[in-house]
Structure 1
Amino acid sequence: MSDTEKMVEINMASSVELSSSLLEQLGKALVELATHNTVPSTLVPWTDVEAHFRNLELIAKKTFEELEAKEKEFTERESHNHMVFAEKEAAVLAKEQDLLDRVQELKDAAVAEIDKARANHKVSSSVDDEIASIDPQQERKSPHEKIEGNVEGVAVEVNPCAELTQICEQMDSLGLLKLVLENLENLSSRFKDQLSVALGSAIEPACLVLDALEGFFPPKEMTQEGDNDDVALRGMRQSCLILMEALSAFLSKAGCAATDSFLSPETKQRAKFIANEWKLKLTLENINGNALEAEGFLRLLGTFRIASEFDEEELCKYVLAVAHHWQATELCRSLDLTQKIPGLVETLINNGRQIDAVHFIHAFKLPESFPPVPLLRAYLKEIRRNSQGNGSAALQNNYNARELEALRTVIGCVEQYKLEPDYPLEPLHKRVSQLDKSAKGDNTKRTAETGYHRQQQKKPRSDRGYQGSRARGSGLGRRAPPARAAYNAVSVQPERYIPTVPHLHSYHQVSGQPIYAAQGIDQRLPYYPQQDTRPRGPSYGSHVQQSRQPYV
């Protein structure tokens, strides 16, 4: 027998022995299993227990994975937020630094402009240079605003008084308004220049002027009816206008950069609030009868650069109310109403205000669209038509005076705008001379008649009485002589806060608004003695009507 076979037999023997042992173990297991049959059948099977624990393990693992994902997402978001916050913080710091630099630049520019303006006024400034810097078509100077000093080119120094400078430095609006009121009667262009320079001493010139404007429309409880109160209120409003004009001149000299710093958004908002209040009060009243109030409203919008906040069509209505003022064209430019001027001129012509229309036409260079010569002829023709007719001597005197004033106004316009080639002045001058001679002759006649009546009053009568004590039977009782009318009156001055003197620049409308006070008609019955049968001389005006010659 070989070794291989021996090994196989050994393995088989061992396998048999192993099988027997396994059988014995199996038997024991069966016996042990049988012994366990006595255990209650309500116990949970091992498979269910194992499955439950495996399920719990899966849930715990899944929850752990979710927490890890959330933690990772939170970490990423936190890092992103930190990055965004850092970028925003850097941007805010950069913007803040830019604003600080811009504010510093504006301050430096404003200080430089103020120092430059002060240096120019302190050193010297030529009057000719000042006149040349003004556009004659842009601004019609008032005849009362004459340049004081030497007009030969000598330097004129504008140095405000210490009181005016101190008031502006202290931002005393009431004191400033009071000082302007005190100088209102003797107002001069030099005082206006001093006021404009003194405003530069104020910390906030615009706010100082706005504080002073509270007196333009005072509360009703502070005003009372009466002539004195009306005069005081008118003076207050004129002073407010002067302050706004001075501020406008100061801002124009300061430059654009300084103007933006002086007129801050808060200041403009405050000015707009005041303008809205004034507008409501102007709407309730008759605009045409309150030219001073309308001018103040327009001046407020132009000075504080807030005209764009209001309707242009409505502003044009206010301009019509102040069109006769010499500053009307300047107001239109400050309000940026250049595009509306043709419509304004047409409205003035339709309303019979040809003189005002001519000034607007030449100020805005519109002679091609609106020829001025036909307008002036139509104006004189209308005055001529209104003055014709038979009436009393006083009424005819008033008509002649109106015609005389209209002639002088037209002559002034023709000379000012150099229209002599198209409108000869010789016929107009002849008519003026004729009316002047008639007026002088009438004054001489009235003086002689007055002396004659006084002499008759002193003449004794046969019954030792005087003309003041007539017999009761007489039906012609002697009346007390009325107050003598001012026959030598030339014209009524136009409404203006500058001391008024008749001048061709006073743009009042003769036909629309009488420029002469109504002459009182003498209603007394003159006494003639019974023995005096001399016929009375012809009344004034009869020979003037016959001597009229066409000049238009």
Structure 2
Amino acid sequence: MGSIPDPGDISGGLNPPSFDDFQKQTSLMTSCTLLWKELSDHFTSLEKNLQKKSEALKNKFQTLDHHTKESLGVLKKREVTIDGSVEIALGKVEESREAALIALLKGTQDGEVDDSEGLLLKLKSFCLKMDSKEFWRFITARKKELDVLRAQTPEALAECVDPAKFVLEAISEVFPVDKRVEKSERSNDLGWACVLVLESLIPVVVDPVLGKSRLLVTPSVKERAKDIAETWKASLDQRGGIENVKTPDVHTFLQHLVTFGIVKEEDVDLYRKLVVGSAWRKQMPKLAVSLGLGDKMADMIEELVNRGQQVDAVHFTYEVGLVDKFPPVPLLKAFLKDSKKAATSILEDPNNSGRAVVCLASIHPD
């Protein structure tokens, strides 16, 4: 009989694991470990990203909540101040009634105006009667009294039942389109009168409580002002384009936008070109800021310098506080240098010797 194998003997019939098997097992364990680490890092990264996004959302919600509370606060303030504004307006109505009686007693429509008080009464008389045509005729006939008109027109406009509508009707003869049949060289440019009246309207329509953040202009008048602005823009081609449009027309248009609070963000490039093209007007720097061009002012100043308009550039730098970036002294020296070159060039031309003397005299007034 053969021998019976020992059931406890495990070596019988089985090959012991080889070194290659151990290496395979080790490699497999290493791969699993690396994979686990990679997965662990991935999930850790996901967790961090989720935390960041959660924090970002939390901050956005907090910001939104803050803005909502702020907006509600502003709305509440506007609502609360309505009664105060109405009371002030009613007080002005009573004052206007008394002023109307005085104007009717003292002033006559065809009477002569020989002093500032008489001029004010005359203006108030037109405003109280909402006679925009006579008001406009009266204003345009007194360009020599511009300083007095600038001081008294706001007070007179305050007597109007609807000052904003009154102003639009007053300047409608020449803005947005000149409707005059008869024109003369002497009275052709009435841009100064348009700007005067539009500037004078601002303190009248500003809310007495909230200030410029709320203009006392009816929705219908504001829509009409917007239509007028669009009409003017549409007529640019007829005026010769942006490069050839007259400065008084540009000034009136830009002041119209600021006065009625109808500046459009999509038209900022147009405003920029118009301002640069008429930069020599002393009101342009302030208008540029009111038109929302503050962040473009550095580029505009650079453009003016490149155009040889250093003096205009200096005015703009002071308005927006860029004196450090554009020091005025070097700019003015460059202007004098360019002027001397121009004068010398003209002086060398025998046909323009008179112009050269004028140029040199302006550079060296002594």
User: Where does residue 168 of structure 1 map in the other structure?
Assistant: 127
Q: Does the 8 Å CA contact 2:275/2:288 hold for their aligned counterparts?
A: yes
Q: Which residue of 2 aligns with 1:355?
A: 311
- 1:211 aligned partner, one-letter code: E
1:362 shift after superposition: 1.4
Structure 2 equivalent of residue 346 of structure 1: 302
Q: Is 1:399 aligned to 2:356, yes or no?
A: yes
* TM-score normalised per structure 1: 0.44
Q: 1:178 aligns with which of 131, 137, 143?
A: 137
Report what 1:212 is aligned to.
170
Counterpart Cα distance in 2 of 1:160 and 1:339: 42
- What pairs up with 1:428-467 in 2 under 5 angstroms? 431-433=364-366
Structure 1 residue 347, shift from structure 2 partner: 1.0
Structure 2 residue runs of 5 or longer lacking an equivalent are 1-74, 96-115
The 2-side partners of 1:221 and 1:303 are apart by: 22
CA distance in 2, matches of 1:276, 1:324: 25
Measure how far apart 1:163 and its partner are: 2.4
- What is the TM-score when the length of structure 2 is the normalising length? 0.64
**Higher relative contact order, chain-length normalized (CA < 8 Å, sep 6+):** 1
Q: Cα distance, 1:331 vs. partner? A: 1.0
Percent of aligned pairs with the same amino acid: 27
**Displacement after TM superposition at 1:114 (Å):** 7.9
The offset of 1:103, in angstroms, is 7.8
The one-letter code matched in structure 2 to 1:194 is Q
Change in 2 beyond 3 A, CA 1:330/1:114: farther
Per-residue CA deviation, residues 44-63 of structure 1 (Å, 9 max, x unaligned), is xxxxxxxxxxxxxxxxxxxx
Q: Distance in 2 between matches of 1:288 and 1:378?
A: 25
Q: Deviations over 1:348-369 (max 9, x none)?
A: 1111111100111112110222
> How does 1:64-143 map onto structure 2 within 5 Å?
106=82, 108-112=84-88, 115=91
Following superposition, the deviation at residue 161 of structure 1 comes to 2.9
Alignment partners' CA distance in 1, 2:268 and 2:206: 23
Question: Whole-Å Cα distance in 2 between the matches of residues 211 and 197 of structure 1?
Answer: 18
**How many residue pairs end up in the alignment?**
268
Q: Distance in 2 between matches of 1:380 and 1:324?
A: 17
Tell me if the contact between 2:139 and 2:193 (Cα under 8 Å) persists in the aligned partners: yes
1:45-93, Cα deviation, whole Å (9 max, x unpaired): xxxxxxxxxxxxxxxxxxxxxxxxxxxxxxxxxxxxxxxxxxxxxxxxx
**Per-residue Cα deviation, 1:102-150 (whole angstroms, up to 9, x for no partner):** 889525414427858999xxxxxxxxxxxxxxxxxxxxxxxxxxxxxxx
For residues 209 and 141 of structure 2, the distance between their equivalents in structure 1, rounded to whole angstroms, comes to 31
Matches of 2:167 and 2:294, distance apart in 1: 27
How far apart, in 1, do the equivalents of 2:293 and 2:176 lie? 30
> What is the match of residue 305 of structure 1?
261
* Superposed CA offset, 1:134-176 (max 9, x none): xxxxxxxxxxxxxxxxxxxxxxx98963322121122111111
Secondary structure of the structure 2 residue equivalent to 1:285 = coil
**Structure 2 CA distance for partners of 1:364 and 1:345, relative to 1, 3 Å:** same
Q: Secondary structure at the match of 1:203?
A: coil
Structure 1 contact 319–328 (Cα < 8 Å) conserved: yes
| 3-state SS in 2 of match to 1:215 | coil
Equivalents in 1 of 2:292, 2:349: separation in Å? 49
Corresponding residue to 1:323 among 279, 301, 304: 279
The structure with the greater share of residues assigned to helix is 2
Q: Which residue of 1 aligns with 2:41?
A: none
CA 1:264/1:377 → structure 2, altered by over 3 Å: closer, same or farther? same
Match of 2:229 among 263, 266, 275: 275
- Give the aligned CA root-mean-square deviation in angstroms: 3.3
